[in-house]
Structure 1
Amino acid sequence: MQHKKNSCDMVAGVEVKKAATSRRTFLKSGLAVAAGSVAAGFPMISVAAPKVIKMQTSWPSSDIWMDFARQYTDRVERMSGGRLKVDLLPAGAVVKAFQVMDAVSDGVLDAAHTVPVYWYGKHKAASLFGTGPVFGGSATTMLAWFNAGGGKDLYRELTQDIMGLNVYGFLGFPMPAQPFGWFKTPITKASEVKGFKYRTVGLAADLMQKMGMSVAQLPGGEIVPAMERGVIDAFEFNNPSSDLRFGSPDVAKHYFLSSYHQASESFEFLFNKDFYDDLDDDMKAILEYGVESASTANTAIALDNYSKDLIEIQKKGVTVHRTSQEILDAELKAWDEIIPDLEKDPYMKKVLDSQRAWVDRVVFYELMNSPDYTLAYNHYFPGKLKL
C-alpha cells in the first residue's frame, strides 16, 4: 500500500512539519546573524563627511554663466559619489567679481569660476590666456594650445613663479567670439567709433583705446546701469544670453556681432593650491578633468541658448549687424601696434611666440581642411544670411 506524500514526518512519535527553506531565506538569516555578530564585536564605522569647496564665480546670480558653473559643480559632486560638495556663490557673495584670484590665492575662497582677464590689473599677461591677439586661431584652437601646446606650463609660470600666487588654474569651454557690442546708432566705419566711452576688459581695452575710444573696465552686472547713467555710451560683454538677461536691449538698439577684440576666451577654474594639494589623488583628478566634461556641456547649452536669445533680442526691436570689414581690419592694425609694446616684456614675448608658432601650424591645417560652411548654409537656407 502506497503512503500518501505530505509535508509531515514522524520523529520519535511526534509529527514534525518540514520547513520549506529557500536560498534567499538562508542568506537573509545568515546575513542577519553576521551583522549581529559584527555589531556585537566591532564598533560601527562612520562615513566621512563630504569635503566642501567654497567656490565663488565672477557672475551675477541671474547670468547664464551661473548655469554653466553649475554644470561643472553638478558633475564634480556626482563623479565623486558625494565626497565632494561645492558651495557655489555668485559675484559679490564673498568678494567682488574682479577679486576672486586674490581671494583664492589667500585662502578666503577654495575655488573660483572666472576668466583670466579679470585679473589683468595684476599682470597684463593674464589677457594672453583669453583675450589677446588671435593670429587667426579660434577659441578652440587656443584652448588646444593651452592643453597641448605649452600654454598650461606658461600659465603656471606666470601665476606661481612670476606672481607668487598660491593657485592652480585650468581652462575650459572655448567661447564663441565675442560681439563688437551694443551701440545707440549704427556704425560702419572705424572713424565713427572715435570718442565713444566703451566698456570692455583686458587687452581689449588697449585695443579700443588705439581705435580712439575711452574705456571703462566693468564686471558684467555693472554694465547696463553704467549705460543708463551715461558713464559709458557703448559696450560689449560676451554673448546674446548674458546681454538679454542684463537688459541690454533696453539701453541700445544696435547689436554688432563679430570682432577680433576677444575672439578666443575660455573660463578659468581656480583652486587654492594648499586646499587642492590636500585632496586625495582621485578627487584632484575629478576637479581637473571635470573641467573637460563641463567644457563639452557648456558648449552645448551655449549654442542652444545664444542662438535662441539672439532671436529674442531681435524681437525687442534690436537690429543685429555683422561688424564691417573696415572695422575688423582696423582692429587687426591696432593689434599690430600693441604687440611690439607687449613683447618688451620677455615673458609676454615668450607666450606670444608660443601662440604664433601654434597658430601657424594648427590653423593652416584647420583652414585647409575646413569646407566652406557659409556656402553650405546658403545652399540649404537661401537668402537668410546677409553679410
Structure 2
Amino acid sequence: MDKLTDASNNLITTATTATDTTAASPSGVTEKPTSRRQFLKGGLLATGGVAASTIGAPAVLGQSPLVLRMQTSWPSGDIWMDFAQQYVDRVQSMSGGRLQIDLLPAGAVVQAFQVMDAVSDGVLDCAHTVAAYWYGKHRAASLFGTGPVFGWDGQSFLSWFYQGGGQELYQELTQDMLGLNVYGLYAFPMPAQPFGWFKEPVTTVEELQGFKYRTVGLATNVMQALGMSVTQLPGGEIVPAMERGVIDAFEFNNPSSDLRFGAQDVAKHYILSSYHQASETFEILFNRDVMDDLDEDLRAILRHAVEAVSTANTASAMHNYSSDLQRLQEEHGVTLHRTSDEILQAQLEAWTDVIEELEQDDFNRRVLDSQREWAQRVGFYNIMNGVDQALAYEHFFPGRLKL
C-alpha cells in the first residue's frame, strides 16, 4: 500500500463524528443540511428494512446516486473550474454513477475565502480551494502551499506532503489544533507564479515602493518587506479592484486565469518568474462526517481520484497556460518580462526574515524544519540531476527566449 493511501485510510478510520449542532459557524452560515449518515440510513429504511436484508447487496444498486455538494473558490469562468470539473468527472466515472458531485463556483453558497468553514460545518460536503485562502485561521496554513521556496518546486512540495510528513502535520493543524471537521488532500503541482501585472515595467526594489499590490498568504509579508502595500483578494475581485484604483499591480496564478478575467485590459506588462509563490497545489477538502459515512470503495475513489486528477490538471495546464501566454502577446499586446535578479534576491532576503518570525511559533518551526529537511535532500537531487533546459531550448529554437 502506498503512503498516500495508508495515511488517508488512517485519517478516515480513526476520525470521530462531530456532535450535531445548528450553531452559527465562524463564517456566519447557520444552515445545517441532513447528514450523509442520516441520508444513507433513511434510504435503506425507505426501501424497506426487511426487503433490503432479504435481497442483500443487489438492492443497493437500485438506490439513487449519492450527490455531494462541492463549491470551489474560483469564478465560474476560471480555468480552475475546468480543473475541478476534471475531478468531478473522474469520481463519477470511477464510481459508475453511484457517487455524483454538484460543482458550484465561488459565491454560490459561501464566499471564496469561506469554503473551509463551510465544509467543516457541513454546509458543503467538499470544496476545491487553496490553503492560503484560510490563512487567517493560522499562518501555518500558508506553509501548505505558499510558503518559503527552499530551492524546491510544486512537484517537490506535493511529494513532501505525501512522503515527507506533510500530511500528518496538516492533520495536526486542521483537526487537532483548529478543531476543523475536515480531511484535506492535495493535487496538481503548480508552476511558479508570475510576479504579476504592472502598468509599467519594474526592475528595482526602489520602483516597488508604495505599490498597492494583490497577493495572498505569506506572500503578503514578503511583498510588504519589498515596500508594497498588500491587499488579499479572491480572483474574481482583482480586475474590479484594479479598475477602481484599490490596487495598481497584482498577481493571481497563471496566464489562462489572468486572460479569462481580463488582466490584459487593465495592465500590459506581465512579469513572469518569482519566488513569492513557487510551490502551491490545490487543496481538495471533505467534511469528515460525509467521508466517514461512505462505503470504503467510495472513500477510496474520492482519495485516488485526487491522484488521477493531478496528472490531468498538469497536462491541461501545460497546454492552456502556454497557449494563453502566446495569445496575451499576439492578440492583446502584452509585453512579457522576467523578474529581475535584484527583485528575486530581495524576495529571498524577505523570506529569511519571514521565516525567522514564523519560527517563534513551535508548530510553524516544526513544519519549516520538515520542509527544509526534505528540500535539502530532494532539491539537491533535482538540481544536480536536472539539465539546463534553457540551453537546449535555445539550441533548437534560437532567439525565442530573448524578451
Query: Structure 2 length as normaliser, TM-score?
Result: 0.85
Structure 2 counterparts to residues 132-147 of structure 1, below 5 A: 132-147=147-162
Match of 1:165 in 2: 180
- In the aligned structure 2, how far is the partner of 1:365 from the partner of 1:229? 47
Structure label with greater radius of gyration = 1
Say yes or no: does 1:67 pair with 2:78: no
Q: Does structure 1 residue 368 correspond to structure 2 residue 384? A: yes
Distance 1:214 1:289 in 2: 41
Q: Secondary structure at the match of 1:228?
A: helix
Amino acid at match of 2:257: S
Which residue of the partner structure matches residue 280 of structure 2? 265
The C-alpha deviation readout for 1:15-56, integer Å capped at 9, x for no partner, is xxxxxxxxxxxxxxxxxxxxxxxxxxx999461111111000
Distance 2:402 2:361 in 1: 43
Matching residue's letter, 1:141 = S
Q: Which residue of 2 is the match for residue 255 of structure 1? A: 270
Mapped pair 1:179 → 2:197: no
Q: What secondary structure is seen at the aligned counterpart in 2 of 1:371? A: coil
Q: Which amino acid aligns with 2:325?
A: L
**Counterparts of 1:322-333 in structure 2 under 5 Å?**
322-333=338-349
Aligned residue number for residue 224 of structure 2: 209
Task: Determine the structure 1 residue equivalent to 2:18.
Answer: none
Two-structure CA RMSD over aligned residues (Å): 1.3
Q: 1:124 Cα deviation (Å)?
A: 0.5
In structure 1, distance between residues paired with 2:200 and 2:388: 32
2:361 alignment partner in structure 1: 345
What's the CA shift for 1:386?
1.9
User: Aligned pair count?
Assistant: 347
Q: After the TM superposition, which of the residue ranges 266-275 and 364-373 deviates more from structure 2?
A: 364-373
Deviation at 1:191, TM superposition (A): 1.2
Partner of 1:383: 399
- For 1:212 and 1:91, locate their aligned partners in 2 and report how far apart those are by CA, in whole Å: 31
- The letter of the residue matching 2:228 is M
The yes-or-no answer on 1:76 pairing with 2:91 is yes
The corresponding residue for 1:99 is: 114
1:66-125 deviation line (CA, Å, top 9, x unaligned) = 000000000000000111000000000000000000000000000000000000011110
1:101-250 alignment runs, 5 A limit: 101-250=116-265
Matched residues in 2 for 1:370 and 1:89: separation? 40
Map Cα deviations across residues 146-197 of structure 1 (whole Å, 9 max, x no partner).
0100000000000000000000000000001000000001101111111000
Q: 1:286 Cα shift? A: 0.5
| Distance in 2, Cα, partners of 1:275 & 1:384 | 51
Aligned partner of 1:287 in structure 2 is 302
Residues in 2 aligned to 1:73 and 1:134: alpha-carbon distance in whole angstroms: 31
Separation of aligned partners in 2, 1:176 and 1:386: 21
**1:24-103 aligned within 5 A:** 45=59, 47-103=62-118
- Structure 1 runs (4+) deviating above 4 angstroms are 42-46
Q: 1:151 is matched by which residue type in structure 2?
A: G
- Give me the whole-angstrom Cα distance separating, in 2, the residues matched to 1:53 and 1:345: 37
- Residue 345 (structure 1) shift: 0.5
Q: Which residue of 1 aligns with 2:34?
A: none
Counterparts of 2:307 and 2:132, CA distance in 1: 20
Deviations 1:280-312 (A, max 9, x none): 111111101100100000000100000000011
In 1, distance between residues paired with 2:277 and 2:299?
31
Matched position secondary structure for 1:268 = strand
Q: Which runs of 5+ in 2 are unaligned?
A: 1-54
CA distance in 2, matches of 1:298, 1:386: 29
Is 1:321 the equivalent of 2:337?
Answer: yes
**What residue in structure 2 maps to residue 14 of structure 1?**
none
Q: Which residue in the other structure is 1:24 paired with?
A: none
SS across alignment from 1:223: helix
In 2: Cα distance, 1:352 partner to 1:89 partner: 34
1:303 paired residue among 313, 318, 323 = 318
Deviation for aligned residue 1:321: 0.4
Q: Distance in 1 between matches of 2:231 and 2:181?
A: 29
1:371 deviation in Å?
1.2
2:39 is matched with: none
CA deviation map 1:188-238 (0-9, x unaligned): 111111100000000000110111100110000000000000000000000
What TM-score do you get using the length of structure 1 for normalisation?
Answer: 0.88
- Separation in structure 1 between the aligned mates of residue 175 and residue 307 of structure 2, nearest angstrom: 23
For 2:188, what is the secondary structure of its paired residue? strand
User: What 5-or-longer segments of structure 1 have no aligned partner?
Assistant: 1-41
- Taking only the aligned residue pairs, the percentage that are identical comes to 69
Q: Which amino acid is 2:342 matched to?
A: E
